[in-house]
Amino acid sequence: MGIGTWAWGNQLLWGYEESMDSELQECFNLALRNGINLFDTADSYGTGKLNGQSERLLGRFIREFEGPIKSPDDVVIATKFAAYPWRLSTGQFVGACKSSLERLQLGRLGIGQLHWSTANYAPLQERVLWDGLVEMYDKGLVRAVGVSNYGPKQLLKIHGYLASKGVPLNSAQVQFSLLSMGDEQMELKTVCDSLGIRVIAYSPLGLGMLTGKYASSNLPKGPRSVLFRQILPGLGSLLSCLRRIAEKKGKTMSQVAINWCICKGAIPIPGVKTVRHVQENLGALGWRLSPGEISELESAAMAAPKKMIKNVFQTA
């Protein structure tokens, strides 16, 4: 399991304030002390003047960590580089990587990831971005390269292209949870397994809908409430199934939902804002759902009338 840091600097969706930084540092420390060393971020994380804040915080937390970090490589920072329309050259994309390293104050990244594909709207830009990943890898700026929001067809194309340049594709990040387990996600997982690519599952808790903490009469603040209002009313059967299995296992609903991702062979990266979140997420490790429980959960999930909305940047 890893930790997602989308909320670290995002005021609009997650209500970030700089007063939260001390607790976020405690989150980082607790995760690392318990063997979680993968932290996912992006150069676009942080709203307005706080753009890049997630990376800056991670860099600071690594430097101030009071523990046995023998090498910066002991902490795997997986940064996603946005496919902004003005990044039209390989040099500009590599420059984005160097800017991330500067914010993190690191010599190299664990995984450099292309945040989304431009194949649907700017196919000529796509090859430039792929070449940028190749150059990052060849220059030693990243230990590994990955992609995000790629569907199975486009994944096969970039895997083949990178392989022709001698660069292995290590990871594919995709929205993956009991609310995002459609045919495309499962096909992507099959392709990844066949090619030796690890699937990193973002939003493993469906933005919080699978935690059991919300209801139609108790919605989160901000833009998430619009989505929750559409989907939550149809999740009665799935949430009841999660609750029943959680009670039987002595776990929470969140821990069961995260463990499902792990049992499917993905690396979930649930987001955290509090120490309590980290403590709860840690409870998803060290055990496994039975095949019967997995089947129960998936049947209940498939019966839900509405699922998570597909990311607009997701390709085929």
What is the rounded CA–CA span in Å between residue 154 and residue 30?
A: 37
Written as six digits, the tokens of 146 are 């990955």
In angstroms, the first-to-last Cα distance of the chain is: 26
At residue 7, the pLDDT reads 92
Q: What is the DSSP string of 199-230?
A: EEEE-TTGGGTTSS--BTTBPPSSTHHHHHHH
What residue spans of the chain are helical by DSSP H? 11-14, 21-33, 53-64, 90-104, 123-138, 152-164, 183-195, 224-231, 236-249, 253-263, 275-282, 291-303
- Please check the confidence at residue 103 and state whether its pLDDT lies above 90: yes
Q: Is it the case that residue 150 has pLDDT exceeding 90?
A: yes
SS3 136: helix
pLDDT at residue number 12: 79
Mean pLDDT of 100-119: 97
Contacts of residue 123, Cβ cutoff 8 Å, sequence gap at least 6: none
Distance of CA 193 to the CA centre of its chain: 18
Beta bridge partners of 81: 114
Beta bridge partners, 202, equal 175
Could you give the CA distance from residue 179 to residue 257 in angstroms, rounded to a whole number?
10
pLDDT of 196 reads 97
Contacts with 48 (C-beta within 8 Å, 6 or more apart), sequence order? 11
The pLDDT tens digits of the residues spanning 157-176 come to 999 999 999 999 999 999 99
By percentage, how much of the chain surpasses pLDDT 70?
99
Show the tokens assigned to 106. Answer: 């690191």
pTM of the model: 0.95
- For residue 312, what pLDDT band results from cuts at 50, 70 and 90? confident
For position 217, what pLDDT does the model report?
A: 86
Residue 308 predicted with pLDDT over 90: no
CB 259 within 8 Å of CB 284 = yes
**CA 79 to chain CA centroid, nearest Å:** 10
Superfamily assignment of 3-303 in CATH? Answer: NADP-dependent oxidoreductase domain (3.20.20.100)
pLDDT tens, residue by residue, 262-280: 999 999 999 999 999 999 9
Catalytic residues: 45
Q: Identify the pLDDT of residue 221.
A: 84
Query: Three-class SS of residue 158?
Result: helix
According to the model, what pLDDT value does residue 290 have?
Answer: 98
pLDDT score recorded for residue 242: 98
109 or 315: which carries more pLDDT confidence? 109
Integer angstrom CA distances of residue 80 from 146, 167, 262, 289: 9, 17, 22, 31
Q: What is the pLDDT of residue 311?
A: 80
What rounded mean pLDDT belongs to the chain? 94
Domain assignments of the chain as residue spans, ordered by start: 3-303
Phi and psi (nearest 5°) for 180? Answer: -140, 65
Q: DSSP label at 308?
A: P
Mean pLDDT of 54-64: 95
How large is the average pLDDT for residues 103-107?
Answer: 96
In which band, very low, low, confident or very high, does the pLDDT at 233 lie, cut at 50, 70 and 90?
very high
